[in-house]
Chain A
Amino acid sequence: DVKVTQSSRYLVKRTGEKVFLECVQDMDHENMFWYRQDPGLGLRLIYFSYDVKMKEKGDIPEGYSVSREKKERFSLILESASTNQTSMYLCASSLEGSSSYEQYFGPGTRLTVT
């Protein structure tokens, strides 16, 4: 089974702090994604990566950056956390070339910025 793990389930940070969210997948998937999930808004794509060191902006990249130095690891960085970044963050991965585009999700990190 594909396993996607995220470094923390719950995180509390102060406004202005730099925050790192880590995601690791163990199935050699080329594509990795970061979403945030908010009530009434569903999942919104922040960034995705289709290869090591490659990244593309999603729908809401402002205030975020990403890093992918190894194929299995995709990090989301909040350069200066703000209260409006309080949310559930979900990481996902998928296999490039798959005809079904199925994504596999981690358990999520609930981030609170105070």
Chain B
Amino acid sequence: GDSVTQMEGPVTLSEEAFLTINCTYTATGYPSLFWYVQYPGEGLQLLLKATKADDKGSNKGFEATYRKETTSFHLEKGSVQVSDSAVYFCALGTGRGYQKVTFGTGTKLQVIP
């Protein structure tokens, strides 16, 4: 079945450091890929998405490129801020099962001043 594997956290970075959170997936067909973010005490919000191979999703300085050849969708940001501290979830959606989405286990990011 479909699955998403993302790097375990927590990840602790200093402000202005470069961020990479790795995500790989297993799916039949051509899934859509997502990164969701969960700030403390809140639900998940969509951060960015890509719907086909080689698409790059971007939002709030974050980027991720849909790499079909490596089945990856790594999240990157050039310069993190304290306000980026949150839990980040990689996810995929397919056309089976009424648009069910499969989520990774989440990676907690802590940015220190």
On A, residues with C-beta under 8 Å from B are 4, 31, 33, 40-43, 45, 48, 50, 56, 58, 90, 92, 94, 96, 98-108
Give me 21 A-to-B residue pairs in the complex whose CB atoms sit less than 8 angstroms apart, sorted by A's number: A4-B43, A42-B89, A42-B104, A43-B44, A43-B89, A45-B100, A48-B98, A90-B43, A92-B44, A94-B99, A96-B99, A100-B51, A101-B93, A101-B99, A101-B101, A102-B46, A102-B49, A102-B93, A103-B46, A103-B101, A104-B46
B89 in contact with A96 (CB, 8 Å): no
A107 in contact with B43 (CB, 8 Å): yes
Q: Across the interface, which residues of A come within 8 angstroms of B51, CB to CB? A: 99-100
Q: Does B24 contact A (CB under 8 A)?
A: no
Q: How many A-B residue pairs have CB under 8 A?
A: 60
Q: Chain B: how many interface residues by the 8 Å CB criterion?
A: 23
Q: Does B81 contact A (CB under 8 A)?
A: no
On B, residues with C-beta under 8 Å from A are 32, 34, 36, 41-46, 49, 51, 89, 93-94, 97-101, 103-106
B103 in contact with A42 (CB, 8 Å): yes
Question: Once the chains are docked, how many angstroms separate the CA of A61 from the CA of B103?
Answer: 17
B43 in contact with A100 (CB, 8 Å): no
A48 touching B100 in the complex, CB below 8 Å, given contacts A105-B44, A107-B43: yes
A42 touching B105 in the complex, CB below 8 Å, given contacts A90-B44, A101-B94, A107-B43: yes
